[in-house]
Structure 1
Amino acid sequence: MGSFWFSLLLVLHILVGCAVIGFVLLQHGKGADMGAAFGSGASGSLFGSSGSANFLSRTTAILATVFFITSLALSYFASAARQPASQSLMQGVVVPAASAPAASGQDVPK
C-alpha cells in the first residue's frame, strides 16, 4: 500500500513541477510593463488589465506550495522505506579485531 502512495505522489509531483514551469513561462517579466503602457498589453483580455497577472502569480504560488508539500512527503516516504524504525544506526558497524600486539613483533600467546 505504501508503494501505491509513493507512486501517486511521484506522479503528482512531476505534473505539478511541469505546471509550475509552464505558469512561470507564461508570466510577463518586469520589462514587459513598458510595452503594456502603450496599448499592446492585455487590457482587453479575459482577465482584464491586471487580472491575468494576479491569476498567474496566485496559481504559481499555489502550485509551488503543492510542489513543496509533495517534496516533503516523498522525502518522508523514501526515508521510511529505506530504514526500519527499530534498527539502530550503530547496529551495522563492524569493529575490527585488535592487531596491535602482532604488529609490535612480540609473541602472541597461543
Structure 2
Amino acid sequence: MGLVFYVCSAVIGGLSSALMSSSLASVQGVGALEAFFGGFILLFGARFGAGCTSGHGLSGMALMAWLSFLAVPFMFAGGIVTAFLMRTGSSPLDRFVNETLAV
C-alpha cells in the first residue's frame, strides 16, 4: 500500500509542479525510445546496486548498512567527476549533451 501511495504522490507532485510553472508539455526532452532505454538502465543500476541513491543515502546509512557507506561516496565521486567534465565546455560529454538537446 505504501508503494502505491509513493508512486501516486510522485506523479501528482510532478504534475502539480508542471502546472504551476506553466511548463506542462512545453519542455524539450528525449524521444520515447531513448526514455525507455534510459529508464531501463536506471532500473538495472538500482537493482544491481541494491537500491537507489536516496535510499542508500538516507535509509541505508541511517541503518548503518555497510553497502550504503560504500555506495554513497562513489555516487558523490561520480557526480563530481561528471560536473568537472561538463565544466570545461569542450569535453566529449559536454559536446554530446549539447548536440543531443539542441533545439
From the CA coordinates, give the structure whose radius of gyration is larger: 1
Do the structures match in fold with TM over 0.5? no
Bigger share in helix = 2
